[in-house]
Every structure is written in C-alpha cells, then in structure tokens.
C-alpha cells in the first residue's frame, strides 16, 4: 500500500477508535503499519501514544493536525472506502 494511503487509513481508523493492527491485518505488513504510525506520531498527527519495545502498547488519538490532514486529504477517503468495500466483497480476504 502507498505510504500516503496507509497514513490516511491509520488516521481514519484511529479517528473511528479502531486498532490499525487489527483492521489492516492481512492487508498490510505490521512493519509498515508501525513505521507509518511512528511517522504520524513524530509529526504530531497522532498524540498520547504509549510505546514500549518498539511497538504501540496504547493507541493515542488523532490530534488537531491529524484532523486537518484527514480533511485536506479527503481524496484518499474515496480510495480507502473502496478498499474497505472490496475487502467486504471478498469473504476469504483477511
């Protein structure tokens, strides 16, 4: 998955109070989710994250900057929604 689409998906899932590791399991390698989550946290788009042993132990929330990112990148929302819909159509996926 393209890193910008993955960043959007992670933020969108956190905005919905969902765990990206669970929701994206089987679709995106955990290493990619972790790498992009670190990017989002470092750049202030996710806040109040609890890290230990190089992984997320407690997911934080989407910051004000993260909310702006979601609005500014709403074009990615269409791609994200389509990907979710396709996943639901294919019962053996995930």
> What does the pLDDT read at residue 33?
96
CB atoms within 10 A of CB 33: 23
Encode pLDDT of 52-75 as tens digits: 988 898 999 999 999 999 998 887
Domains along the chain? 3-89 (1.10.10.10)
Q: Smallest Cα–Cα separation from 49: which of 36, 59, 39?
A: 59
The pTM assigned to this predicted structure is 0.79
Q: Can you say whether the dihedral through the CA atoms of 73, 80, 12, 21 is positive or negative?
A: negative
> What does the pLDDT read at residue 7?
96
Q: Smallest Cα–Cα separation from 83: which of 45, 34, 26?
A: 26
> What does the pLDDT read at residue 54?
85
Half-sphere exposure of 9 (CA within 13 A, CB side): 25
Encode pLDDT of 1-50 as tens digits: 889 999 999 999 999 999 999 999 999 999 999 999 999 999 999 999 99
Half-sphere exposure of 30 (CA within 13 A, CB side): 7
């Amino acid at each position: 998955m393209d890193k910008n689409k993955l960043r959007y998906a992670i933020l969108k899932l956190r905005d919905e109070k969902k765990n990206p590791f669970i929701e994206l399991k089987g679709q995106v390698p955990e290493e990619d989710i972790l790498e992009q989550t670190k990017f989002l946290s470092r750049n202030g788009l996710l806040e109040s994250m609890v890290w230990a042993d190089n992984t997320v132990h407690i997911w934080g929330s989407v910051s004000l900057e993260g909310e702006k990112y979601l609005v500014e990148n709403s074009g990615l929302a269409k791609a994200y929604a389509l990907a979710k819909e396709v996943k639901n159509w294919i019962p053996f996926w995930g």
